[in-house]
Structure 1
Amino acid sequence: MPKRDARALPPMAQARLDRFSPSGPKTSLLSVPAAVGAEAAGFTPLGDVMGCVVHQIGYTGPSSWAADRVKQLAGILREGYATALERLEDEAAAMGADGVLGIEFTITSPDEMTQEFVALGTAVRARAGPRPRRPFTTELPGQDVAKLVQAGWVPARVVVGVAGRAFFDTWRRPMIPAWYGNTEIPMATELAIDVRAAARAEFAREIRECGADGGIVSDLGFDIWPVQDVAVAAIARVTGTAIARFDPGPAAPVGALKILPLNRS
């Protein structure tokens, strides 16, 4: 297979872009309320965009401790999210978009050795205003972006925080003897609190590094499992949108329309 530039679009993405015409029909993944909200915020849909990557899960060996394995899995998650999002941005930028709305991530494992990461969203272009050097990205739908803009905020980019930890009983005792019945597992509770806090800390750090003023959490993920009955491992992930303040305008509207007018008058 010929090598391609890391910043170049994959062949199928380039073929999809070649079919794109500014005067042709637009494809969109936005719902009707999201599309109306995007229009209210001054954005016109250009087309759906996608970023995809398949990662191999490396072999750590039978003698590897649980911490090595969970650290590897957390790293795959972090890299998978970042690569899929970057390729989605590349496709949107090639389309001339100013941003991507309603991004959804899916992670599938065809087998125990691979994971596929897919990011899907709708590229949009602002009807007026300066063009960003790089399209903004957000998991928020159009109606939420409209509320943000009305309140003086703009989405910056999707941010992800991932953490993976493992706790091990040095005495190699079972975490909870079977005859204890329905009771708390202190080591698992401590790990759950610790790994969630670490993922949130990374999420906050990513917001600061991109120069944003805050973040909106869209999804929280958490997995925990025992390892040979003497250790417990966990992975936590936080995804959301970093937002920046551009105008100290009015407060965001809190009411919702019970009837959505479709006329433009």
Structure 2
Amino acid sequence: MPKRDVQDLPPAARARIARFEASGSKTSLLSVPGAVGAEVAGFTPVGEVMGCVVQQVGWGGPNWWAIDSIRVQEDVLRRGYATALERLAAEAKALGADGVLGIGLTVTDLDEVTQEFVALGTAVRARTEQRPRRLFTTDLPGQDVGKLVQAGWVPARVAIGVAGRAVRDPYMSRQTTSWAVNVEVDAPTKAVTDARAAARAEFGRAIRDCGADGGIVSDLRVAAWPVQEFAVIALATVTGTAIARFREGPAAPAGALKILPLNRH
């Protein structure tokens, strides 16, 4: 086990690791199928890990300048996710882990001007002598990681794409009156379509930047809201895992293992 470096961790994380060391317990957030999948992939849980950050959000006013505030909100999301994941990874390294499985990302509005970003997952360690060169992170559950490894793929890191788009349309109110029944509203359609496309493109760049061979999209979210009656703003987020091929293998099995064999020694 490598020496644990906990000096740079927040006090709460240092206290959590100290409790693990004192009790010898190894907590896990994996489900039973997830734990079996992690075992199939050759990993053992070494503890739950978390990273979080609270950020102030700079909102714009209710007029034309508010459209430009979408850039501020993009930056808040990018920095919030990145910081939470960096702190989660630091805690996993302090536990001597090789990776983190089943990472969940949440954003909570604490009040009108602050948001909390949390990354929560289970740190695991490989049972083989050949260790990964760097810590990997994935939002995939253990059973999916097991199937990936069987097929010759390994997770590299959580990849995120964020994009916002603002579309001005002074005639938008004409399409949203009570007389305009069952018609497409052009500005919101364009805003959400462009935001999704840009977020997926950024997700692809994140995969290429870490040298991975592909990616698995786990979630795609979009929110849209009007700016008075002349514009609409859309903000999209794509999350998933960048994956790399380490050998040619058979296709991954279609179903997850739901029964734990009792004849294993």
- Establish whether TM, by shorter chain, passes 0.5: yes
Instruction: Look up the equivalent residue of 1:10 and give its one-letter code.
Output: P
Quick one: distance in 2 between partners of 1:156 and 1:22?
A: 31
Quick one: distance in 1 between partners of 2:157 and 2:22?
A: 25
Q: Which residue of 2 aligns with 1:100?
A: 100
Q: Which residue of 2 aligns with 1:252?
A: 252
Report percent identity of matched pairs.
Answer: 67
CA contact (8 A) 1:175 1:185 kept: no
**Is the alpha carbon distance of 1:85 and 1:114 closer, same or farther for their aligned partners in structure 2, counting shifts above 3 Å?**
same
Structure 1 segment 148-227 matched on structure 2, within 5 A: 148-169=148-169, 171=170, 174=173, 176-178=175-177, 179-227=179-227
CA contact (8 A) 1:66 1:233 kept: no
**Is the alpha carbon distance of 1:116 and 1:255 closer, same or farther for their aligned partners in structure 2, counting shifts above 3 Å?**
closer
Report deviation, 1:131: 2.8
Report deviation, 1:263: 3.4
- Structure 1 stretch displaced more, 200-209 or 104-113: 104-113
Structure 1 segment 61-76 matched on structure 2, within 5 A: 61=61, 65-76=65-76
Instruction: Look up the equivalent residue of 1:174 and give its one-letter code.
Output: S
Instruction: Look up the equivalent residue of 2:215 and give its one-letter code.
Output: G
CA RMSD, Structure 1 to Structure 2 (Å): 1.9
Instruction: Look up the equivalent residue of 1:262 and give its one-letter code.
Output: L
Quick one: distance in 1 between partners of 2:216 and 2:140?
A: 9
Q: What's the secondary structure of 1:19's corresponding residue? A: helix
Quick one: distance in 1 between partners of 2:200 and 2:262?
A: 40
Q: Which residue of 2 aligns with 1:4?
A: none
Quick one: distance in 1 between partners of 2:240 and 2:255?
A: 23
**Is the alpha carbon distance of 1:21 and 1:258 closer, same or farther for their aligned partners in structure 2, counting shifts above 3 Å?**
closer
Quick one: distance in 2 between partners of 1:149 and 1:206?
A: 21
Report deviation, 1:61: 4.6
Quick one: distance in 2 between partners of 1:203 and 1:258?
A: 32
Report deviation, 1:161: 0.2
Quick one: distance in 1 between partners of 2:225 and 2:62?
A: 17
Report deviation, 1:134: 3.1
CA contact (8 A) 1:175 1:229 kept: no
Consecutive unaligned residues in structure 2, runs of 5 or more: 1-6
Consecutive unaligned residues in structure 1, runs of 5 or more: 1-6
Q: Which residue of 2 aligns with 1:3?
A: none
**Is the alpha carbon distance of 1:59 and 1:200 closer, same or farther for their aligned partners in structure 2, counting shifts above 3 Å?**
closer
Report deviation, 1:67: 2.7
Quick one: distance in 1 between partners of 2:67 and 2:260?
A: 52
- Structure 1 stretch displaced more, 24-33 or 123-132: 123-132
Quick one: distance in 2 between partners of 1:192 and 1:61?
A: 21
Using the size of structure 1 for normalisation, the TM-score is 0.91
Q: What's the secondary structure of 2:79's corresponding residue? A: helix
Q: What's the secondary structure of 1:174's corresponding residue? A: helix
Q: What's the secondary structure of 1:224's corresponding residue? A: strand
Q: Which residue of 1 aligns with 2:11?
A: 11
Quick one: distance in 2 between partners of 1:258 and 1:75?
A: 41
CA contact (8 A) 2:37 2:257 kept: no
Report deviation, 1:133: 4.3
Quick one: distance in 2 between partners of 1:109 and 1:11?
A: 23
Structure 1 segment 49-60 matched on structure 2, within 5 A: 49-60=49-60
Q: Which residue of 1 aligns with 2:231?
A: 231
Quick one: distance in 2 between partners of 1:256 and 1:177?
A: 46
**Is the alpha carbon distance of 1:97 and 1:196 closer, same or farther for their aligned partners in structure 2, counting shifts above 3 Å?**
same
**Is the alpha carbon distance of 1:177 and 1:38 closer, same or farther for their aligned partners in structure 2, counting shifts above 3 Å?**
closer
Quick one: distance in 2 between partners of 1:92 and 1:19?
A: 15
